[in-house]
A = this chain, B = another copy of it.
């Protein structure tokens, strides 16, 4: 294997205009249309001509300009846009992976961006993607205002919302069963004798956080242990706010003996706060996470599948691209409680 020396591909010589079909045509001594035919594997080109063209393409390092192609053809740009909260979060990177996978099978590229829970950032990203004429849009909504998407949807860009519903637009949506999950968590803990079950959730203006709170409440009522305001702490949370919340919960007249954590981040904060503490409350976390089974005690979670979420949303999007124009659908994916130990501690 020879290493190509700097004389070749070095950063030195910049802006060497890219070869176009025109250049190829000139070099091969044919018309530009013939080059187009060769590049697109269209029939009706004599093998020997095709060979000349291919040689010219190779010599010039020609690569078809997709912008021009898409412009001319007016059809698909072969891209789909993905707006999520944070690619760095393992949950969303799982979603991203699934989206990418399916997009690939359908010959599409994925453009993605993180909104960081900022509605204006989400909007900026989504509209930017629309300017790029993505074939469709997958959005984890950061706010409640999505009417800015109406012109785009009307213009034929299908949009699917993931993980949370849109605020003020009717569109396809894929959610997980947040309420059912927290109901199950509370029920499970109550079945192990807990009557003082706390809930630590994310900021209540986030749809999933609010739903999970509702599920928690519902679970408490169903279990006959009642809903007590003082056992609930909604975010935004960071490590230290979780720590102080836990202290408060344990120093009450009737301390909490169990906790439901509203998402994977909060679960981790709790685990950190409890590290080394002897008397640990029972714990069930929403969202599964890697290594949960290797902690001691292993962490019981309400699990749902990031890739299933991504897949369901992308499938829905492609169905729209394939011409499905039935009324918007709302898909709710099931969750399941995975008992591992931390939630099976008796009160």
Contact = CB atoms under 8 A, between A and B. Distances in A.
A67 B63 contact: no
Given A4-B169, A155-B18, A87 B93 contact: yes
A14 B320 CA distance: 10
A252 interface: no
Interface stretch (A42-50, A142-150, A210-218, A236-244): A142-150
Nearest to A4: B169
A105 interface: no
A104 B94 contact: no
A82 to B, nearest CB: 10
Interface string A153-168: 1111010000000011
Interface string A308-320: 0000000000001
Contacts of A1: 144, 167-168
A251 interface: no
Contacts of A19: 155
A278 interface: no
A131 interface: yes
Nearest to A130: B63
Interface stretch (A174-182, A225-233, A253-261, A323-331): A323-331
Nearest to A57: B151
A19 B97 CA distance: 34
Interface stretch (A28-36, A108-116, A201-209): A108-116
A324 B11 contact: yes
A128 interface: yes
B61 A155 contact: yes
A154 B13 contact: yes
Interface stretch (A184-192, A279-287, A289-297): A289-297
A4 B145 CA distance: 11
A104 to B, nearest CB: 7
The 7 nearest A-B residue pairs measured at CB: A61-B151, A93-B93, A88-B97, A9-B153, A67-B67, A9-B150, A66-B131
